[in-house]
Structure 1
Amino acid sequence: MPLIEVTLVEGRSPQQLRVLISELTHAAARAVAAPVANIRVVVREVPATHWAAGDVTIAERAGDTP
């Protein structure tokens, strides 16, 4: 049973997340010949203030924090 975990900065619409889930599910089904019903997708959304690279958060890069 494939498990796909995705972490994104919050802010996408429910429709965008639904498309992502569907695309990932079908890509995994094709890649590893797994039945769609056996594929699990977990999407975690985190605030831009909780995600950083090089000691700079995404919010800071976007100018969203003081």
Structure 2
Amino acid sequence: MPIVTIQMMEGRTPEQVKSLIARVTDTIAEELNAPKDRIRVLVTEIPTTHWGIAGVPASEVIANRTNN
């Protein structure tokens, strides 16, 4: 049973996450010739305060980009 884990920053809509799960499942099924009902896709959304970029929380990086 293929298990795919995706970690990404929070901020996507439920529709985007749903589409991602469907498209990843389709790709794994096609590439590995695996039955879709055996594929698991786990999506973990990380708060931007818990995601570091160059030693700085992503929330601060995003805020700085918005303010500049």
TM over 0.5: yes
The residue aligned with 1:16 is 16
Residue of structure 1 in register with 2:3 after alignment: 3
Q: Distance in 2 between matches of 1:61 and 1:20?
A: 25
Q: Distance in 2 between matches of 1:17 and 1:54?
A: 26
Measured against aligned partners, the alpha-carbon deviations of 1:12-52 in whole angstroms (never above 9, x if no partner) come to 11100000000000000011110000000000011001001
> Residue 11 of structure 1: CA displacement?
1.1
Superposition misfits of 4+ residues, deviation over 4 angstroms: none
Name the aligned partner's letter for residue 44 of structure 2: R
Name the counterpart of 1:36.
36
**What's the TM-score once normalised by structure 1's chain length?**
0.90
Amino acid in structure 2 at the alignment position of 1:57? P
- The answer to whether the 8 Å contact 2:53/2:61 transfers is no
SS at match of 1:63: helix
TM-score, scaled to structure 2: 0.88
Distance (whole Å) between structure 2 residues aligned to residue 6 and residue 51 of structure 1: 14
Identity score, percent: 38
Counterpart in the other structure of 1:57: 57
RMSD: 1.1
Point out the structure with the larger helix share. Answer: 2
Paired residue total? 64
